[in-house]
């Protein structure tokens, strides 16, 4: 039975209890690195654009490692956000492939691009759980995994978006809690879909 989005969010809150400091600190470093790159790109520092493109895949992988550990009540550590650099080739290749596919779908219309992004959203979680899988296999598996779950995922993201509007009223301070809360909630979504599919395959 699928776990409701509200229940997934409650689970995320429980997973973060007593570990908010670790989560907020880790995400601040992550956002400082990736956000700093985006600021430099805005000012047309194209060399930084290349660096940002190169590190995006490894950093996304590292955050998947970190948030999965939090969501599963495992030993989450700050150093995990850099784990992607230990698998630099595949994390970079996977990220580039995802971006190419999303851009190509977006050339049709915005909606196909959004659907593609949702379809590929489980890719880095899959890479974490299945370290021997290839980039295209991880992307294809994410597409299969999200079959029938895209609308639920969209609704979960919409909940977090509405919460982000409230964070604006706090002059942005609320984002310190919302961002890790959102990422752990999405990791819970992955865990739930994966468990559901394992049950179906076992029947």
Nearest to 7 by CA among 145, 151, 202, 159: 159
Nearest to 26 by CA among 79, 65, 75: 79
Confidence band, pLDDT 50/70/90 cuts, at residue 40: low
| pLDDT tens digits for range 122-137 | 999 999 999 999 999 9
Average pLDDT, integer, range 3-7:
93
How many angstroms separate the CA atoms of 40 and 186, rounded? 29
Residue 165 has pLDDT above 90, yes or no: yes
Q: What confidence score (pLDDT) does residue 45 get?
A: 62
Residue 133 neighbours by CB under 8 Å, 6+ apart: 126, 127, 141
Residue 71 has pLDDT above 90, yes or no: yes
Residue 177 has pLDDT above 70, yes or no: yes
117: left (phi over 0), alpha (psi -120 to 50) or beta: alpha
Confidence band, pLDDT 50/70/90 cuts, at residue 21: very high
Extents of the domains making up the chain:
5-202
Nearest to 2 by CA among 203, 193, 188: 193
Residue 36 has pLDDT above 70, yes or no: no
How many angstroms separate the CA atoms of 48 and 6, rounded? 39
Residue 109 has pLDDT above 90, yes or no: no
Residue 1 has pLDDT above 60, yes or no: no
62 versus 200: the higher-pLDDT residue is 62
160 versus 171: the higher-pLDDT residue is 160
Confidence band, pLDDT 50/70/90 cuts, at residue 34: confident
Average pLDDT, integer, range 32-41:
65
Nearest to 94 by CA among 123, 119, 122, 68: 123
């Amino acid at each position: 039975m699928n776990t409701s989005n509200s229940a997934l969010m409650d689970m995320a809150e429980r997973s973060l209890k007593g570990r908010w400091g670790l989560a907020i600190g880790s995400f601040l470093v992550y956002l400082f690195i990736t956000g700093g790159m985006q600021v430099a790109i805005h000012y047309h520092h194209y060399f930084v654009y290349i660096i940002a493109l190169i590190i995006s895949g490894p950093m996304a992988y590292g955050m998947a490692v970190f948030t999965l550990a939090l969501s599963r009540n495992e030993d989450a550590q700050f150093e995990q956000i850099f784990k992607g650099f230990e698998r630099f080739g595949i994390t970079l290749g996977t990220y580039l492939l995802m971006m190419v596919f999303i851009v190509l779908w977006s050339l049709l219309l915005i909606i196909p691009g959004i659907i593609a992004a949702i379809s590929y959203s489980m890719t880095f979680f899959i890479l974490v759980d299945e370290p021997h899988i290839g980039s295209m296999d991880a992307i294809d598996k994410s597409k299969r995994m999200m079959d029938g779950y895209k609308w639920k995922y969209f609704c979960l993201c919409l909940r977090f978006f509405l919460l982000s509007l409230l964070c604006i009223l706090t002059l942005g301070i609320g984002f310190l809690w919302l961002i890790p809360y959102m990422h752990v909630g999405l990791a819970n979504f992955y865990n739930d879909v994966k468990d559901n599919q394992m049950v179906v395959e076992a029947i």
